[in-house]
Amino acid sequence: MKNNQLFSLCFFVFLIALGSHVSAFSQPSLHSTSLMPSEQGVVKQIDHHHSEMLALLKKVVNINSGTMNFDGVQEVGQIFSQQLTDLGFETHWVDGKPFNRAGHLYASFEGAEASDRTKKLLLIGHLDTVFEKGSEFQAFKVLDESRVAGPGITDMKGGNVVIVSALKALKNAGSLDSMKIKVLLMGDEEKRGSPFHVATQKLVEAGHWADIALGFEDGDGDPKTAVISRRGATSWLLKVKGRPAHSSQIFRDGYGYGAIYETARILNSFREKLSSVPNLTFNPGSMVGGTKAEFDVATANGTAFGKNNVISETAIVYGDIRALSPDQLSEAKSVMRSIVNNNLAETEAEISFSAGYPPMSPSAGNKKLLAEYSAVSEAIGLGAVVAVDPRKAGAADISFVAEHVDMALDGLGLMGWGGHTVKEVADIGTLNSQSKRAALLMWRLSRH
C-alpha cells in the first residue's frame, strides 16, 4: 500500500472514531456520572429561582386545603394552574362534583421539538392535606436555617413546588420544548372521593397515556431513597352472627359460641396464618359486638348493646389490608375468606373487601428507572439513591398508574418528617436538590 493510501485510510478511521466520540458526548447515556453543559444550565436555573420557589411554597402552605375544604383546595389548584400556564402548559380543572370532592388540576404540554419517539412523562402530586379548617396547625413557620414547618409542607405541597421548580428550570434552559408531559395534581389523595372509580378516572387515563410516571410524594423523608414499590391499601368489613341465649348455655350443642367468640377465632386465625408473610399487613381498626351492633363505614363510628349474661348475637369488625403485589393481595383474600367460612357451632360470618389503592409492584422497569435517577443524583454530586423499604412507604396515587406504564418512581418531592401530624417539618435544603434531580432525570429520559 502506498504512503498516501495508508495516510488516507488512517485519517478515515480517525474521523470515524472522532465522530463516535463526539456523538457519545453530545447525548450522554442515562447512567452518565458527569454533567453536560446543557445539564449544568438546568442546575444553575434551579439555584437562580430558589427564592421564588420558596415564596411559592410559603404561599400555598398558608392556604388551608384540607380535603373537605373545597374552596381551599381549588385556591391552591388555581395558584399551581397559573404557574403551569406561564410555562406553556394547557390546564384544566376536573370538576369534583361527580365524586363529592373539590376536583383535580390537569395540565399537558407537548413541545415543538417533541417527536413520536419522545417519552411521555406523567408527573403526579396532590393539592389536599389532612389538616382541615379546624386544625390547630395552619401556618408556614421557619424554625431555623434548614427546617421549616407547615401543614402539608412535605405531604405534599413541597412536592408540587418541586414539580414547578424542575419544569421552570427546563423551560428557562431551553430544554422543555423537546418534551411531552402531563401533570396531575389530585384534590382528594388524603380522603378519596366516591364513587371511587370516578374519583380516580383521570389518574388512570393519564397512566394509559404515559410511558413513565414520576410521583412527588416525600417517600420515607430520606433524600438517599426513592420509591419503586408501594403496598396497596384495601378495606375489609367482617360481619358475624351467633345464636342469642342465656349465657349459662354457651358452648352447649344447639347454642354454640356466640358472635364475639367466633370473631375472636377469625381474627386470631388471620394472625396465625398470615402475619409471617413478608410485606403483608392487616389490621382490625374498629370492632363492635353484643346483642345489637351497628357500624357506619363512612364515619367510622359504631354502637353496641349487650349484657354479660346474654350470648352475643352480632359482631362487626372494620379493618385494612396492605399487600405488595396484586397476587399477594389475592392470595391473602383467599386465605381470609377460607377462615371466615370455617365457622364455630351456631355461628355464621361473611367478609367483604372494598376498592382501594392497588399495589405498586417492584417491577424491572421501576428498578431501571431508580438506577437512572441514582446516576443523575451522583452526577450532580448528591450521592447514590436506593429503594425505600416498602413497609416505610404508604399507599399513594402513583399506584393507580404503575401497572399501565413502562416505569414508575415515587418519593421525588420535598423531604422532611412528621407528615400527617402537627410536627410536619421540611428539610428546606432539599427543595433545590430534589428539583435538580427531577429536572435532569426528565431531561435525560426525554432524549432516550
Q: What was the pLDDT predicted at 256? A: 97
Cell of 179: 418534551
State which amino acid sits at residue 210: A
CB atoms within 10 A of CB 283: 11
Topology adopted by domain 232-353? Alpha-Beta Plaits (3.30.70)
- Name the nearest CA neighbour of 423 among 40, 71, 135, 26: 135
Strands of the 407-409 sheet, one edge to the other: 90-95, 103-110, 180-186, 120-126, 212-215, 407-409
Is 232-353 the same fold as 37-230+359-446?
no
3-state SS record for 133-202: CCCCCCCCEECCCCEEECCCHHHHHHHHHHHHHHHHHHHHCCCHHHCEEEEEEECCCCCCCCCHHHHCHH
By the 10 Å C-beta count (0-12 exposed, 13-18 middle, 19+ buried), 310 is classed as middle
Residue 188 one-letter amino acid: D
pLDDT at 288: 98
Counting as low any pLDDT under 50, the low residues of the chain are 1-28
Neighbours of 74 (CB within 10 A): 18
β-partners of residue 409 are: 214
Q: What letter does residue 344 receive in the DSSP assignment?
A: P
- The pLDDT value recorded for residue 94 is 98
Phi and psi dihedrals of 130, rounded to 5?
-85, -5
So where are the chain's domains?
Answer: 37-230+359-446, 232-353
Please list the helix, strand and coil fractions of the chain in percent, rounded to the nearest 5, in that order.
40, 25, 35
The model carries a pTM of 0.84
**Beta strands 416-417; 348-353: pairing state:** unpaired
* Three-state secondary-structure class, residue 122: strand
pLDDT tens profile 295-329: 999 888 999 999 999 999 999 999 999 999 889 99
pLDDT digits (tens, 9 = 90+) for 160-212: 999 999 999 999 999 999 999 999 999 999 999 999 999 999 999 999 999 99
Phi-psi region of 152 (alpha: psi -120 to 50; beta: other; left: phi over 0): left
Residue 327's Cβ-side half-sphere holds a number of Cα atoms within 13 Å equal to 2
Q: Between 3.40.50.800, 3.40.1360.10, 3.40.630.10, 3.60.20.10, what CATH number should domain 37-230+359-446 receive? A: 3.40.630.10
> pLDDT value at position 23?
31
The secondary element (H helix, E strand) that includes residue 340 is helix 326-341
